[in-house]
Structure 1
Amino acid sequence: MGLMSSQDYVNSLKDGREIYYRGTKVYDVTQHEVLRSAVNHASLIYKLQENEKTRDLFVYKDDNFGYSSKFYKIPRNGNDLMERFNLIYETSKMGRGSFDVIKGIGSDAIFALMIITKKIDSYLKTRYYENIMKFYEYVIKNDLGLAVAQTDVKGDRDLRPFEQEDKDLYLRIVDKNKDGIIVRGAKSHITQAPVANEIIVLPTRNMSEKDKDYAVSFSIPPNTKGLKMISKPLKAVETSLNDPWFVLGKENMETQSLIIFDDVFVPWERVFLAGEYQFAGPLAVMFPTFHRFTAISYRAVIGDLLIGLGKLLAELNGIDDKSHIRRDIVDMIKYKEILRESALAASLYAEIDEDTKIAVPNRVFTNIGKLISNETYLNVVKDLVEIAGGLADTLPSTQDFYNEEEARYLKKYLVGKKGTDPLTRSKILSLTRELLSSLGAFFTTIMIHAEGSIEASVIELYRSYNYDESKKLAYYASGISDEMP
């Protein structure tokens, strides 16, 4: 027990888990030509905590468990949340702008489960808090990688879970016995499940009494009987295998899967919710609060990457002194810094849960940052395209630069500002093209939908904002009330 080595992590994935990729069963995810990119990216966390130069960023000494991953450090105050922001931010930079969720998303879920199970136990005399604390101990002691399965396939979005014609379109409990529960259904868009050590399942929405069979939360290993994972095509990785300049897609990609639960058994000690429908909604909201804090922390780094590309291209193209280019770059700076400021403000004004003493990121500042990141991402991509120009699309292939007959022409005619290196300019343009082409659908979709849609942030902001002081000011300003706000 203790911190897991990167090699031990890779070896832990060879456990007979059932994975499919492009219609073919994958017998060893660590050896699969495409999916091993997700393995390599996840293993980076373990390599960084082994490295003497980066160890202090990733490891802390826990009073109960000894040296442990900082991702599993329970936040108790605003400073702890700021430290978590820095951990996520720096991890994303080390991942070439791509966040490594293998511990981040799972710890988000664990903290939310600690808070909500404590309340369930208080109201209904259950023992779910004991279960999640034992699970947390197991995770931190063994330094495990986690995936979180929350989003159901949903079927007809206009119908509640119990109203669906096919009752399995939301994950549900189909049987209970003295040993545990049996569940059936599917969860979609699940990041890194094929390369995780445990999969934590959460409800996707609020539930009514008629939906109680769908109010379920638990954790199981990925090799559990009846669990099947169908990975999406990783087109960015497939493309990068033929292009040595497409480094991001080759080394820092994650996989998303459709997970099938074909009458999967879950022992009671791994169950955190089983029919207590009143708490499905609070759990479905508490997890995204932590997870959106994670989102704005890593998205600030994506903003940083876009700034770097934009400024370099402006300099290489000899246009960094043009007013419209300055506006494009300042637009990128504004995007990145609003996200970082939102994360820091969410830490500074954290809400401390009275039962568990866990610090919860401020919901207003978290959702403000998340909403801005969702709504304006494509604007900053437009800024980058404007700076880069047409070569972001029409740049010759990497192979052309290694053909001596062609290379001398490319180095002559693809030069930018006097004194700049045409090969450097071409590689920066190549990364820009990778972000726009093979990675374009991935980044666009996650930046608009991941960690909750635009509408989800709007709903949460509207219902969680404290209007009292604003209304008092309106009454006072109108003369209706003499009470100063």
Structure 2
Amino acid sequence: MSPQSPAAIRRDEKSVAPGIMDGQRYIESLRDGREVWLHGEKVADVTQHPAFRNVVRTFADLYDLQHQAATQDVMTYLDADGVRGSVSYLPPTTPELLLRRRRNTEIWTERSFGMLGRLPDFCAAMIVGFHDTRDELNALHAGFGDNATNYLTWARQNDVALSHGLHDPHMDKTMRPKQDPDRCLRIVAERDNGLVVRGARFVTLGPLSNEVVVAPTYVLADDEPEFALWFSCPVNLPGIKQICRDPFTLRPQTADHPLSTRYDEHDVLMIFDDVLIPWERVFLMRTPKEANALFRSRVMAWAGYASVLQAIARLELIIGTAHLIAETGGIAKRPHVTLEMGELASYAGMFKGLLRAAEVDCVRTPGGHYMLGNTTHMRPLIALTSERIINIFEHVATSAPVFAPTAEDFDVPELRPLLDVYGRGRNVDATYRHRLCRLAWELTADSFGGRQQLYERLHSGSPEVIISGAYERYDKSKGIAMVNALIGG
């Protein structure tokens, strides 16, 4: 069944729609004529291409969880009409629903081992954020807030797989958008049937999504209105081209590559070559001040929630791998190892504690939804500690991952007896120890692990800016009052 448009749902909210996604429907939805380029060649079908098919299967398996008895009631809900929808698209109108969103996101992030930073669940949370600002959007431009609400309804009824494009290409950052218009995606024309946009965005998961959500994350000046726009569109629209980076998924799918062959999100340069965006998919345009204010404070509120849960899941995998490397290497009781493993455990406890405190202190937005309370310090701490976490992991694993043989070596009769002797660990055989070391290699030492670490540290922006912002926003009044009480200020 072809998805209905948001406009159709505005006319008939009870129109029949496919409902929650399953794996097979997800795979079929990607065969839509999208223009994807890899290694100088156009990809005819991402579901069959060796660079994409394993990751497509990963996402298909995640969507199938919505239909399994053990997870369906956590990941989905029944609406007022008895139609089952994804909790990823559920607006949290009560504190209890906020926690329900958390439990759903935990399944998405834990089943993908914290390796997928831009899950469709994350991007769906942005659509909830657009809907939350509907009154402000309608006040800025009649009907745009309704567009956001209608789009949420449509996306939920079709369980659309979303990606997002928030960052422009890295060009000359000394210049403002007005000075170099090609640097930033912008409006180039307005027509009766929509906006025409031109530019490019960095997009994670673009080849494997149905639609892309676009908004600027940089602060715009009042004289830069053409760059202030929020919209969503199908990735197969005429004029959209996706140019992929070198993938990690072309490696053999063996025990040597437990992560990269299944969890490479595929980062792309998505080019918008005079693309027509229908009016019903536009949520904001030509209001820079409001775009700046609303995006960080409201639109990204629930996406940020998902991001912290993803970081926690990744840290749990890192702790588990480091612990087993130490145990099977016979070094788990050494003082420097217990000290550094304790530091990792402390980071995990700190992130979880801050998240729980923010849930307890949740606040009701002007749009009528509950968002986390003070989250000023969570993302800065994750960015600040990300390099230290990997540094500790390397200290614990030492050189074991560097000298691990390949999986094929275990199939050679003359090598296998030798590997069984010299590759074993404490209380584990050589096969287990080899798989553990190869997992450690992919987490930290090879190009996949390097990309994951860059992403974790930088995806929210410059860590220095984020951390400085935490200081700027911190309520210092209590401490100042204490000082003045002591010294008579």
Alignment TM-score, normalising by the size of structure 1: 0.92
Q: Distance in 1 between matches of 2:283 and 2:308?
A: 28
Q: CA offset at residue 65 of structure 1?
A: 6.5
Q: CA offset at residue 224 of structure 1?
A: 0.5
Q: Distance in 2 between matches of 1:177 and 1:309?
A: 55
Q: CA offset at residue 410 of structure 1?
A: 0.8
Q: CA offset at residue 258 of structure 1?
A: 0.7
- Mark the CA change 1:396 to 1:309 in structure 2 (over 3 Å): closer, same or farther: same
Q: CA offset at residue 100 of structure 1?
A: 6.5
2:360 match: 348
- Mark the CA change 1:209 to 1:46 in structure 2 (over 3 Å): closer, same or farther: same
Q: Distance in 2 between matches of 1:137 and 1:36?
A: 30
Residue identity matched to 2:291 = A
Is 1:135 paired with 2:143?
no
Q: Distance in 2 between matches of 1:250 and 1:471?
A: 53
Q: 1:176 aligns with which of 190, 200, 209?
A: 190
Is 1:220 paired with 2:266?
no
Q: Distance in 2 between matches of 1:343 and 1:369?
A: 8
- Count of residues in Structure 1 that have an aligned counterpart in Structure 2: 470
Mapped contact 1:213–1:275 kept (Cα < 8 A): yes
1:248 match: 259
Q: CA offset at residue 110 of structure 1?
A: 1.2
Summarize deviations over 1:132-184 as a string: whole Å, max 9, x none.
000011000111111111111253212221122xx121111000122211000
Is 1:12 paired with 2:25?
no
Mapped contact 2:423–2:429 kept (Cα < 8 A): no
Is 1:423 paired with 2:431?
yes
Residue identity matched to 2:257 = F
Q: Distance in 1 between matches of 2:340 and 2:301?
A: 31
Residue identity matched to 2:184 = Y
Q: Secondary structure at the match of 2:92?
A: coil
2:377 match: 368
Residue identity matched to 1:337 = G
1:106 match: 123
1:260 match: 271
Q: Which of structure 1's runs of 4+ aligned residues deviate more than 6 A? A: none
Could you tell me which runs of 5 or more consecutive residues in structure 2 were left unpaired when the two chains were aligned: 1-16
Q: 1:40 aligns with which of 57, 73, 93?
A: 57
- Identity among equivalent positions (%) equals 26
Mapped contact 1:38–1:255 kept (Cα < 8 A): no
Q: Distance in 1 between matches of 2:141 and 2:456?
A: 40
Mapped contact 2:256–2:406 kept (Cα < 8 A): no
Residue identity matched to 2:460 = E
Summarize deviations over 1:424-456 as a string: whole Å, max 9, x none.
112111111122214222111111111333134
Is 1:145 paired with 2:161?
yes
Q: Distance in 1 between matches of 2:161 and 2:472?
A: 34
Residue identity matched to 1:302 = R
1:483 match: none
- Mark the CA change 1:346 to 1:59 in structure 2 (over 3 Å): closer, same or farther: same
Q: 2:482 aligns with which of 464, 473, 476?
A: 473
Q: 2:315 aligns with which of 278, 303, 309?
A: 303
Q: CA offset at residue 465 of structure 1?
A: 2.8
Is 1:207 paired with 2:224?
no
Of 179-188 and 63-72, more deviation after overlay is shown by: 63-72
Summarize deviations over 1:167-212 as a string: whole Å, max 9, x none.
1211110001222110000011x11111111111112222222100
Residue identity matched to 1:215 = A
Q: CA offset at residue 331 of structure 1?
A: 1.5
Is 1:451 paired with 2:468?
no
Q: Secondary structure at the match of 1:391?
A: coil
Q: CA offset at residue 82 of structure 1?
A: 3.0
Q: CA offset at residue 44 of structure 1?
A: 2.7
Q: Secondary structure at the match of 1:209?
A: coil
Mapped contact 1:154–1:161 kept (Cα < 8 A): no
- Mark the CA change 1:156 to 1:101 in structure 2 (over 3 Å): closer, same or farther: closer
Is 1:195 paired with 2:208?
yes
Summarize deviations over 1:313-340 as a string: whole Å, max 9, x none.
1211122221111112111111222222
Residue identity matched to 2:332 = D
Relative to total residues, which structure has the larger helix share, 1 or 2?
1
